[in-house]
Amino acid sequence: MEKVIDFEELFTYVKDALAAYDHHGGAAKNRIKYSRFAHTERVYRWMLILAEDFACDIDMESLKIATIFHDIGYSLNKENMHSHAADGAVLCREYLDSIGYPAEKTEFICDLIARHSDKEVLHREDTPLELVLLMEADLFDDTGAHGIVMDAWIQATKEDVSFESILEHIKKFSLKQMQVNPMRTEKARRIWEEKKELTNKFVESLTVDLYGGM
């Protein structure tokens, strides 16, 4: 009989695995308590939005499982952040094997996880659509309004924080990041442009607020 996946159970499994990492926030996010699990939930929601247009063309169950597990590799909390994708694939395989999930599908899902942080893969012709959507969803997190708030949060941990230093931080990170649209599918490219416009306007407006002019 075909194994029926309980996605809530998968989320709980990943949440538990990431609990220790999320408790201290990890090393990569500039002293802020960045929850990898909350990130995972947001990426999952982005994935559902982007995948809507491709319901007939993709293996949705595999994409859902890969998205839920994509950052579980951080739970190993290694110095080398780049290994999180390969580690995630190993941990996901362990889980799927333990529930008797079909080997062929497990192979596909673990390949999506193992390659999800290789930026060059996104625009390669032979990249499966499931991987494109996972990577796009992952890239959307912490961008636009959310990226601005994160920049402010990071800057607020510094001793000499001020409105001006927060604006500079936003210009250096979010504003700069938003100028190059990295997306591939049409909807993702459009959403990125909307986020870019918002970021540009926010920086313009805050500049006026802090330094005057119009």
Query: Is residue 71 at the binding interface for Fe ion, with CB under 5 A as the rule?
Result: yes
CB-hemisphere CA count at 13 Å for 92? 33
Instruction: Give the nearer residue to Fe ion in terms of CB position, either 167 or 188.
Output: 188
Q: One symbol per residue from 128 to 157: x for binding Fe ion (CB under 5 A), - otherwise; what is it?
A: ----------x-------------------
Q: How far is the CB of 57 from Fe ion (least distance, A)?
A: 23
Q: How far is the CB of 43 from Fe ion (least distance, A)?
A: 5
Number of residues that bind Fe ion (CB under 5 A): 2
Q: How far is the CB of 93 from Fe ion (least distance, A)?
A: 18
Instruction: Give the nearer residue to Fe ion in terms of CB position, either 22 or 71.
Output: 71
Using the rule CB under 5 A, give the single segment among 64-72, 103-111, 164-172, 195-203 that binds Fe ion: 64-72
> What is the footprint of Fe ion within residues 89-118 (CB under 5 A)?
none
Q: How far is the CB of 137 from Fe ion (least distance, A)?
A: 9
In the complex, the residues that contact Fe ion under the rule CB under 5 A are 71, 138
